[in-house]
């Protein structure tokens, strides 16, 4: 039952927002009493926290699978972006920004976990790109990995990038292209342009 509650709560939080979904809403959606939820999660904040880390683990597992299966570092970044955007329902809401606004302590904990994972992942991606001649060997890997993380967090800020002007999935694509163009070799740029052309047709 605990996992069913977690699954449903996570889905509702992502679709409708962390603030607007109540314990009553989750109970009604599952056809159980609110008391049953409280047996597993003492407060809504506890459920939000559990949902956030449950989601984080699920996304990390998906990204690991993509990294193992990818053909080159550029495709890998685009596939990760697509997977994360779809999983987080980015076109419907901005869960990360909602979390920061309404549950700042949980946000602070998850953002550092995200940094640890993304920092290592981007470093590996850049190293693979350098080894295969796709990314420039003089790229400062540590600096670029930190800037990439910083940018990915910033584009979720709906005050900086209002959703009526910037569609979340589009802005993530723009940022990813910006990142790759900054570090790619001539061969890398050819791969990037081919990938963009293939996926825009």
User: Mind listing the pLDDT tens digit for each residue in 126-163?
Assistant: 999 999 999 999 999 999 999 999 999 898 888 888 88
Predicted confidence at residue 84, as pLDDT, reads 84
Both structure tokens of 195: 């990938």
Q: Decide if 118 contacts 60 (C-beta within 8 A).
A: no
pLDDT at 10: 93
pLDDT at 69: 85
pLDDT at residue 201, as a whole number? 58
Q: Which residues of the chain have pLDDT under 50?
A: none
CATH fold label, 49-200: Tetracycline Repressor; domain 2 (1.10.357)
Residue 184: φ, ψ to 5°: -80, 150
Q: Which pLDDT score, from 0 to 100, does residue 153 have? A: 87
Give me the sign of the Cα torsion angle 65, 69, 71, 75: negative
Exposure of 109 in the CB half-sphere (CA atoms within 13 A): 9
Quick one: pLDDT at residue 110?
92
- Which pLDDT belongs to residue 106? 95
* Owner of token pair 């109970």: 27
Is the Cβ–Cβ distance between 15 and 94 less than 8 Å?
A: no
- pLDDT for res 2: 92
- The pLDDT of residue 167 is 82
Residue-level pLDDT at 115 = 93
């Amino acid at each position: 039952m605990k996992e069913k509650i977690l699954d449903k709560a996570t889905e509702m939080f992502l679709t409708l927002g962390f603030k607007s979904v109540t314990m009553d809403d989750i109970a009604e959606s599952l056809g159980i009493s609110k008391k049953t939820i409280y047996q597993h999660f003492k407060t809504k904040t506890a459920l939000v926290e559990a949902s956030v880390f449950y989601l984080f683990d699920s996304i990390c597992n998906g990204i690991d699978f993509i990294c193992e299966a990818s053909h080159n570092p550029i495709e890998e970044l685009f596939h990760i972006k697509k997977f994360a955007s779809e999983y987080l329902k980015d076109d419907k809401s901005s869960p990360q920004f909602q979390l920061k606004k309404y549950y700042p302590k949980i946000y602070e904990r998850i953002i550092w976990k995200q940094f640890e994972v993304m920092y290592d992942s981007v470093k590996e991606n850049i190293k693979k790109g350098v080894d295969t001649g796709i990314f420039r060997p003089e790229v400062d890997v540590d600096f670029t990995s930190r800037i990439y993380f910083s940018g990915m967090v910033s584009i979720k800020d709906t005050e900086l990038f209002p959703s009526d002007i910037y569609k979340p999935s589009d802005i993530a694509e723009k940022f990813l292209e910006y990142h790759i163009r900054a570090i790619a070799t001539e061969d890398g740029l050819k791969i990037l342009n081919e990938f963009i052309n293939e996926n825009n047709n």
